Structure 1
Amino acid sequence: MILFMLFLSTALNYLDRTNISVAAPFLKNDLHLNSVVLGLVMSAFGWTYAFMQIPGGWILDRLGPRLTYGLGLIIWSLFTFFQAFAKGFGSLFGLRLGLGLSEAPAFPTNNRLVATWFPKQERALATGIFTAGEYVGLAFLTPVLAWIVAAFSWHTIFIVTGILGLLFVPVWFKFIREPKDSPYVNAEELAYIREGEGLADAASEKTKLKWSQISVLLKRRTMWGIYIGQFGVTTTLWFFLTWFPDYLVNDKHMTILHAGFYSMIPYIAAFIGVLFGGAFSDFLVRRGFSTSTSRKTPIIIGLLLAGSIVLANYTASIGLVITIMSVAFFAQGMSGISWSLIGDVAPRELLGIAGGIFNFAGNLSGIVTPIVIGVIVGRNHNFGGALVFVSAVAVIGALSYLLLVGKVKRIEV
């Protein structure tokens, strides 16, 4: 039940941050935004989302996951709703900043709840399943959003997704609890979680954070390897979250409806990839492989395969382009289990802040990627250089896991 709630909340979270990609081909004409300015608008979410990760992790450690996420859900749904009434660059940029600010604690909260509720041998698959919520929402609702744009207007997308988020708020507060406080958990399940190193007890305690403790998370080579690697993981993701529909419309000359339906295929591939990556990692754990091998193998393979996205530059076939994109996004999904590493290596007392730093490092690409791609497209009037950039960063991420991360074990403070 907890995992299903995380799956649904993640699907809503990603709809609200990526709905602008579907609206973009129409929105930029209506509000008179060129590619460079549109890249800035798309990056606005990343500015506040990234820089609020550490404060968001601190808030999570203070307030706990139920209240932190519930309040964030209310606020980000309102910011989503009001984007429908943006009149130009300034108002749209400001609302996207607010959206990033309020969504910042989402994934640290997801990670905290997985570390709390799931034993080690189930944690990667659980991470994969809630992460799959990103892709399921995008796969099956992107065509719906494209239809809404075509049938009504780009404004309607923001109204619909904002209302969906607000409707989910009471559901979240009803079902999300710590294991010890849940009316649905018995003593046997609590014992099972504890035996598998789930943090059923420690994670329910509110932490008094000393800022000096953050230095532990910044001095270890393992953590830096994970941070750099996550930047590589999320760069491919941010291409698909921001520019992919525009790539299909303007580079491949599709209508918005065709782009919406073709987008389903890579998104479904990513959904399968993240489930495969999680199941494969947990399978290796159960077969007796080390945590290092079990966690890092699908991430490294995924990052290397994600680099194949550059091959789309060498074909004009729509079918082959979608196939290449699907392989790259499947691979990105595989590497998306990187969140499970934080549950394995972060100090028990600092799960929230560790997740915040990790997500900050990864989502710096939410700032960099939309702007870089916007500049490249603005100069070259095509996406060739943009795909080279995405591919190169994915390979750098793989090298970081290979050369820097080392042995995966929990850091003690």
Structure 2
Amino acid sequence: MKKIKGLRWYMIGLVTLGTVLGYLTRNTIAVAAPTLESQLHITTQQYSYIVAAYSACYTLMQPVAGYILDILGTKIGYAMFAILWAIFCGATALANSWGGLALARGAVGMAEAAMIPAGLKASSEWFPAKERSIAVGYFNVGSSIGAMLAPPLVVWAIVAHSWQMAFIITGVLSFIWAIGWLIFYKHPKDQKKLTDAERSYILSGQEAHHQQDNASKLSTRQILCSRQFWGIALPRFLAEPAWGTFNAWIPLFMFREYGFNLKEIALFAWMPMLFADLGCIIGGYLPPLFQRFFGVNLIVSRKLVVTLGAVLMIGPGTIGLFTSPYIAIVLFCIGGFAHQALSGALITLSSDVFGRNEVATANGLTGMAAWSASTMFALIVGALADTLGFGPLFAVLAIMDLLAAVAIWGLLSNKPLTRCAAYPVTG
């Protein structure tokens, strides 16, 4: 059988495509929001309930999805969740009220909760530690590519046919990918097309807690009781509302604050997501550079990326000070870059700290913390945007990101969890 050189990059490409389609289905609702408000007579607050339904179900399902992935494995577990989100996304076209949309989007959120834990688990299986942040950066770039593709695709579907067609198209695309995942994805130990040299490179470059089956798998209670967990979970709690707000509210913000029509939304709303792509990729390369030039270890290098992203988030926090829509777009671009660089580092930390058979569970739990904050902030935006305005809310997001940087330095130890007979978990 012919061997394929650099197969790990093809595998992360497959993961990235899944993330692209997951975020395409997620952002379809945001781009369609002005049309839905008009045709279904939905208010801003009711739209916030739809966003919150997705976020709440995503939040509650994160640890469950992570646990299922650790039990079923990356291949079967991820395929199962992807098929479900494809079906639920297509079913959104059947909704005829904000309640029906909330129900459908909640179901999509439950299924998509597996997306990031599965991507992280695949990255920990296919990449040595020194390349893992790069791999996570590439699969995380799918989130902003999906969000970037959503405006032109959804607007085209609405103009050419209807808002319902937008959800059907994105659902069908996700279903096709899920079948492809089942066919092509395998663990490096089982992949016959992987060269012996690359297999050795991958496995020898992984930490001990990723090389072994890890029979002493940490329980959920042990994970939750570790300081290392909270050193990741609290910063994610503080930082995630920014990304949730960018994804769900930028099109409606431009529509309400600057009077953008559908074509103008399609023309400009993808730009912050392009810079988010750059943040994912550049943010993935920064930790190795910080290690080389500053002589810091792996975990400290991730902390430095989080700090850099938090400082840059001050940019979109000042949107309320300007009246030009073009300045707003520029500041959103800075925010997209900053958050995705920061987010990639936070997500990767779970694989730096936790073992191969618990990494998806741990990431699911930190994701639950992150998305609980995103859910609450979506409701706050819905309640206050019409009266207080968006400007002060974006300022609050910048402050929260800065607090996330403070929290990660104060809580997260500079070494992974250790295990011993008497004290199975120490931070």
Choose which of 5, 14, 17 in structure 1 pairs with 2:23: 14
Q: Deviations over 1:233-261 (max 9, x none)?
A: 32111011101100011111111211122
Give distance in 2, aligned partners of 1:34 and 1:315: 26
- Which residue of structure 1 lines up, in the alignment, with residue 367 of structure 2? 359
- Superposition pairs for residues 255-294 of structure 1, below 5 Å? 255-286=261-292, 288-294=295-301
Are 1:244 and 2:244 counterparts? no
Quote how far apart the aligned CAs of 1:363 are: 1.4
Q: Deviations over 1:285-304 (max 9, x none)?
A: 35542112211101111022
Give distance in 1, aligned partners of 2:168 and 2:158: 12
Are 1:303 and 2:272 counterparts? no
C-alpha contact 2:209 2:354 (8 A) present in aligned 1: no
2:49 maps to a residue whose letter is L
Percent identity for Structure 1 against Structure 2: 25
105-114 or 151-160, which deviates more: 151-160
Quote how far apart the aligned CAs of 1:209 are: 6.7
Quote how far apart the aligned CAs of 1:320 are: 1.3
C-alpha contact 1:62 1:206 (8 A) present in aligned 2: no
Gapped runs of 5+ residues in structure 1? Answer: none
C-alpha contact 1:305 1:327 (8 A) present in aligned 2: yes
- Which residue of structure 2 lines up, in the alignment, with residue 177 of structure 1? 186
Quote how far apart the aligned CAs of 1:342 are: 0.6
Give distance in 2, aligned partners of 1:370 and 1:364: 10
1:368 maps to a residue whose letter is M
Gapped runs of 5+ residues in structure 2? Answer: 1-9
Are 1:60 and 2:69 counterparts? yes
Q: Taking structure 1 as reference, are residues 59 and 327 closer, same or farther at Cα in structure 2, changes over 3 Å only?
A: same
C-alpha contact 2:22 2:146 (8 A) present in aligned 1: no
1:226 maps to a residue whose letter is I
Q: Taking structure 1 as reference, are residues 207 and 5 closer, same or farther at Cα in structure 2, changes over 3 Å only?
A: farther
Choose which of 313, 333, 351 in structure 2 pairs with 1:343: 351
Q: Taking structure 1 as reference, are residues 45 and 348 closer, same or farther at Cα in structure 2, changes over 3 Å only?
A: same
Are 1:44 and 2:50 counterparts? no
- Superposition pairs for residues 65-144 of structure 1, below 5 Å? 65-144=74-153
Give distance in 1, aligned partners of 2:11 and 2:279: 22
Quote how far apart the aligned CAs of 1:207 are: 7.4
Q: Taking structure 1 as reference, are residues 322 and 71 closer, same or farther at Cα in structure 2, changes over 3 Å only?
A: same
Q: Taking structure 1 as reference, are residues 36 and 104 closer, same or farther at Cα in structure 2, changes over 3 Å only?
A: same
- Which residue of structure 2 lines up, in the alignment, with residue 316 of structure 1? 323
Q: Taking structure 1 as reference, are residues 30 and 75 closer, same or farther at Cα in structure 2, changes over 3 Å only?
A: same
Aligned residue pairs total: 409
Quote how far apart the aligned CAs of 1:318 are: 1.9
30-39 or 67-76, which deviates more: 30-39
Q: Deviations over 1:334-357 (max 9, x none)?
A: 102211101100134311211111
C-alpha contact 1:236 1:390 (8 A) present in aligned 2: yes
Quote how far apart the aligned CAs of 1:200 are: 10
- Which residue of structure 1 lines up, in the alignment, with residue 337 of structure 2? 330
C-alpha contact 2:66 2:363 (8 A) present in aligned 1: yes
Give distance in 2, aligned partners of 1:81 and 1:348: 34
C-alpha contact 1:49 1:103 (8 A) present in aligned 2: yes
- Which residue of structure 2 lines up, in the alignment, with residue 390 of structure 1? 397
C-alpha contact 2:229 2:362 (8 A) present in aligned 1: no
Quote how far apart the aligned CAs of 1:202 are: 5.0
What is the aligned-residue RMSD (CA, Å)? 2.0
2:81 maps to a residue whose letter is G
397-406 or 191-200, which deviates more: 191-200
**SS of structure 1 residue aligned to 2:387:** helix
Give distance in 2, aligned partners of 1:68 and 1:206: 20
Give distance in 2, aligned partners of 1:252 and 1:185: 52
Quote how far apart the aligned CAs of 1:395 are: 1.9
C-alpha contact 1:239 1:390 (8 A) present in aligned 2: no
Scaled by the length of structure 1, the TM-score of the pair is 0.94
1:150 maps to a residue whose letter is V
Quote how far apart the aligned CAs of 1:134 are: 0.9
Give distance in 2, aligned partners of 1:101 and 1:141: 20
Scaled by the length of structure 2, the TM-score of the pair is 0.91
Quote how far apart the aligned CAs of 1:208 are: 9.5
344-353 or 72-81, which deviates more: 344-353
1:152 maps to a residue whose letter is H
Quote how far apart the aligned CAs of 1:74 are: 0.8
